[in-house]
Structures are given as structure tokens and as C-alpha cells.
């Protein structure tokens, strides 16, 4: 599912820096991981994060000095597909 997001966010401009999502693609391929110390997909606690009409339940996190503070979040749409579409700093 990140393939679609990768096309949209292949290069994401955040302030003056440009973030390449290849590190997030590799983390996504690792699958579900624990809350600390690993790159991969993390299940958010509780009911997730509500943003507008969407509830984000998972995040792709990367353990690195360059991207460690950022996440790509996903929600489940009305067709049951998981969509990664929100790139932001981690909600620690």
C-alpha cells in the first residue's frame, strides 16, 4: 500500500529540507514491530489518532538520526484498504 504513497511523496518538502521516503519503504517491508528501537510498522495505542474524519491506527517509523522523528501514518478507508497519506513528526 505504500507504493501509492511513494508516488505521491517520493520527495516531500518539509521546511527547507527534502525527505526521501526510501527509508520508510524499507521500514514498511519489515512489517509490524514493537514500540521502541526498531524500524517498521507500529500499531498506535488505544483508538489511534483522530484527524478530521479519519482515524489513523498505524505508523511507519524509521530508526535513524535523519528521519527518526518523522512518521507516515495510515488509516483504513471505506473499502477496507489501508492508506498511508499523512507525513508528520512523531506523536510521542
Contact 52, 44 (CB under 8 A): no
What is the domain extent for residue 50? 2-89
- Report the pLDDT value the prediction gives residue 74, as an integer from 0 to 100: 92
Query: Over the stretch 50-63, which tens digit does the pLDDT of each residue have?
Result: 999 999 999 999 88
Once rounded to an integer, what is the mean pLDDT over residues 18-47? Answer: 86
Once rounded to an integer, what is the mean pLDDT over residues 28-36? Answer: 90
Q: What is each CA distance from 45 to 13, 58, 72, in whole angstroms? A: 28, 9, 16
pLDDT-based confidence at residue 19 (cuts at 50, 70, 90): low
How many structural domains compose the chain?
1
Residues in the chain: 92
pTM to 2 decimal places: 0.73
Backbone torsions φ then ψ of 80, nearest 5 degrees: 85, 5
Alpha-carbon 59 to chain mean position? 4
Amino acid at each position: 500500500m505504500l507504493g501509492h504513497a511513494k508516488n505521491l511523496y517520493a520527495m516531500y518538502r518539509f521546511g527547507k529540507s527534502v525527505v526521501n521516503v526510501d527509508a520508510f519503504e524499507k521500514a514498511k517491508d519489515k512489517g509490524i514491530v514493537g514500540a521502541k528501537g526498531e524500524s517498521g510498522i507500529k500499531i498506535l495505542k488505544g483508538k489511534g489518532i483522530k484527524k478530521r474524519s479519519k482515524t489513523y491506527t498505524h505508523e511507519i517509523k524509521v530508526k535513524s538520526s535523519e528521519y527518526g522523528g518523522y512518521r507516515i501514518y495510515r488509516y483504513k478507508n471505506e473499502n477496507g484498504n489501508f492508506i498511508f497519506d499523512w507525513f508528520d513528526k512523531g506523536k510521542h
